[in-house]
Structure 1
């Protein structure tokens, strides 16, 4: 958390980040938090962890190339992991069949569960159980007719064993030729005729193929806004985005406010990406996206969806990387294309702009954030995302080092403080060697005793480096 006076009650690391400059107007990464913007009618409520190799059909009920997952598809072009916030809730579809020894229940709530069908086919001493989601077979198992317990849950359906036995009249061939359907009416009929009742395995008695349709699945969506703040405060991510939601959605402001709260009040250095709205955000932890792209297949993605790509690639970028002029995968044109004047205007507003290059590639014009009003504490270079990533990386690393290795473990004396200083110096010299910060030396940090016996005070100066972005050249021809 940030601090103004040494009056904190809770143990922890309290770190201020301020710039030193004149007023000027001129680690494990790659995790993106994304609330779902379309109703999926399937999947677990809350956070679903996804990557490019995930089984999207099983987890979300839709193919990754479908329109329902369009924004997720763009986020995954840049992110290593997406924490998808799903608001699906309701009742799962279910089914029972008297001739079968199982109750069938959809793995998740939602109306998509009503598209599930289970087919049971018997051949000799084996039965084949096939699960279909719509018209596509998604699971198939072969079990012995005497071992219904061997049927295991799959990604779509849970199988609960009910009763294994079915009534069969004496002399039955055990293959259902006497019409064995396992019903109570048959049992009563046999008893009424004083015919001895013989109980046989339902699967052994099965005659014809059986198809069971799951029904009764309902969707009762949870308000995504009710889930968002909790996810923002409790999940481990680098960048959060409300990409995919309409430009006038109140979720954008909700995300911005919560990111500011986490960064300024809790010292959690996460960042946010939203489509550019009429609101002036002016904050180094938030990037806004001004336009979209056209993909190679002609699909037009507006800024609300294309913001997902920028969020994903931002989460994967480390402190040594700028996203300026990074290509947007599979994009052939900006949408809409901005003129030179409009591009400059958007940049001056602190907006991310996608620009079409001559070879039909699309690039991120400049890796900036929404900070436009600079001060002595927040100089102009705070508007550059590479610089912000550097500052966030240093703060997070020092915070974790203190909490994991020193808090409650190391004595607060000169030797203990020197040990903490040496740890930080070693880390920062590594960043200097890697070209992340410039020319760090041991004199740039002090670790002193605080006002209380359990407090230390660290004063640290670093100079984050940025990437080359402008070439000014004069060529004299004689």
Structure 2
């Protein structure tokens, strides 16, 4: 049989046909989607051992099993505010406690909401030696299993783990009891930040009023942004951090979920300056023109009243100082969104396509340069940056053979905020 197959170099000894099938070179330039919030919360129900993710659709469909309440419940108002503009949330319970229980079942999660679970057992109408077992959360039927011979045959569900050695007897309704919430402490927030470090998100939210806890969030944000290159912003209440990674909400801590969702869901080619608050809270704050100007100078993210609506005054972060390295533009969240997006996306392109896979030679660096140029052109096409020239990007060999140096010059676009108009009357 003659030789055949693929080739790396032209060094075959046996006559035959050697064919390589390769894809045409295609530049990478994928803009990752936004909308993810990381948030540590005080809950009556829910996963109490790890970070858990909920999408907007899951929240709308499965809030009862995931968070313990129906979608329209008063207790879920903060989540409805958050999901006005966020697409996903990474949640962490700050207050795991004790699971409710009775002779037939133990709640799946700890918390006081488990005390509203009720087991109803009745004789099966078709087979008198079998049982129908129903489970209610409040007045809502959440699980029903018919024709059960014994407790061993009961299937655990999203709400309870059944006691398989229980003796089933008829009951009009036996409530679970003993469910408690734990205490929220600064150490619980630290545990959350340790757990969330390896996840991808755009906004980290904290509604704590405890100053040491807020300081810890600021330090965490600085460390991840500056030492690890993980780009996100943190939304806090009443924290003058003078840092582009911190958004300092002024009006009320209850606005944190809505602000976090709005910031996470905002495109990099947009600003939420003058955006109308469309949540369910009642904002009562009114500020004078002088106070609003002071808020801008202080790096405060403030809502102000316009007619019967409340709107965001300016989409700014807490940065107030200006340096040669970080000028006025770094106070704008739109600028930070663009820069963070570039940082995250370029890292993704390099790690997924080049890191450990492509040779660090002229051809490899040209390929990386081409991908960067394609990516920046995408940003131009969505009007996130302007005045871009491919010559503004260079990819060079580094000191070590494995090192690559990439330099680029970009001009972020800002949304219109002020109009200065002169009308000449003739």
> Hey, what does 1:388 align to over in structure 2?
336
CA distance in 2, matches of 1:381, 1:283: 12
CA distance in 1, matches of 2:43, 2:192: 15
> Hey, what does 1:171 align to over in structure 2?
none
Structure 1 residues 438 and 230: CA distance shift in structure 2, 3 A: same
1:154 pairs, out of 134, 153, 157, with 157
2:137 pairs, out of 133, 137, 143, with 133
Q: Secondary structure at the match of 1:337?
A: coil
Structure 1 residues 89 and 401: CA distance shift in structure 2, 3 A: same
CA distance in 2, matches of 1:434, 1:373: 30
1:326 pairs with 2:275: yes
Deviation at 1:116, TM superposition (A): 2.0
Structure 1 residues 41 and 366: CA distance shift in structure 2, 3 A: same
What TM-score do you get using the length of structure 1 for normalisation?
Answer: 0.75
> Hey, what does 2:40 align to over in structure 1?
35
Structure 1 residues 256 and 114: CA distance shift in structure 2, 3 A: same
2:126 pairs, out of 124, 127, 130, with 124
Q: Secondary structure at the match of 2:318?
A: coil
Confirm or deny: 8 A CA contact 1:74 1:305 kept in the other structure: no
> Hey, what does 1:226 align to over in structure 2?
190
Where in structure 1 are there 5+ consecutive unaligned residues? 1-26, 97-102, 164-181, 183-201, 292-302
CA distance in 1, matches of 2:176, 2:421: 70
Return 153-162 or 363-372, whichever deviates more: 153-162
Deviation at 1:43, TM superposition (A): 4.1
Structure 1 residues 395 and 43: CA distance shift in structure 2, 3 A: closer
CA distance in 2, matches of 1:308, 1:220: 22
> Hey, what does 2:323 align to over in structure 1?
375
Confirm or deny: 8 A CA contact 2:271 2:415 kept in the other structure: yes
CA distance in 2, matches of 1:438, 1:392: 17
**Which deviations, in whole Å up to 9, do the C-alpha atoms of 1:229-258 show, x marking residues without a partner?**
213412221101112x33x44322211111
Higher Rg? 1
Confirm or deny: 8 A CA contact 2:285 2:304 kept in the other structure: no
Confirm or deny: 8 A CA contact 1:79 1:315 kept in the other structure: yes
Confirm or deny: 8 A CA contact 2:48 2:92 kept in the other structure: no
Deviation at 1:44, TM superposition (A): 2.5
Structure 1 residues 113 and 441: CA distance shift in structure 2, 3 A: same
> Hey, what does 2:78 align to over in structure 1?
71
Q: Secondary structure at the match of 1:93?
A: strand
> Hey, what does 1:289 align to over in structure 2?
249
Confirm or deny: 8 A CA contact 1:333 1:355 kept in the other structure: no
> Hey, what does 1:57 align to over in structure 2?
64
1:452 pairs with 2:400: yes
1:262 pairs, out of 211, 224, 231, with 224
What is the 5 A alignment of 1:203-352? 208-209=170-171, 211-221=173-183, 223=185, 224-243=188-207, 245-246=208-209, 248-277=210-239, 280-291=240-251, 303-330=252-279, 334-352=283-301
Deviation at 1:412, TM superposition (A): 0.8
**Which deviations, in whole Å up to 9, do the C-alpha atoms of 1:412-446 show, x marking residues without a partner?**
11111111101101111121122111121211011
Structure 1 residues 145 and 459: CA distance shift in structure 2, 3 A: closer
Deviation at 1:477, TM superposition (A): 2.1
Confirm or deny: 8 A CA contact 2:120 2:134 kept in the other structure: yes
1:410 pairs, out of 358, 363, 371, with 358
Confirm or deny: 8 A CA contact 2:51 2:196 kept in the other structure: no
1:362 pairs with 2:362: no
Report how many aligned residue pairs link the two structures: 387
Where in structure 2 are there 5+ consecutive unaligned residues? 1-31
Confirm or deny: 8 A CA contact 1:46 1:87 kept in the other structure: no
Confirm or deny: 8 A CA contact 2:131 2:149 kept in the other structure: no
> Hey, what does 1:108 align to over in structure 2?
109
Confirm or deny: 8 A CA contact 2:396 2:405 kept in the other structure: yes
CA distance in 1, matches of 2:90, 2:199: 8
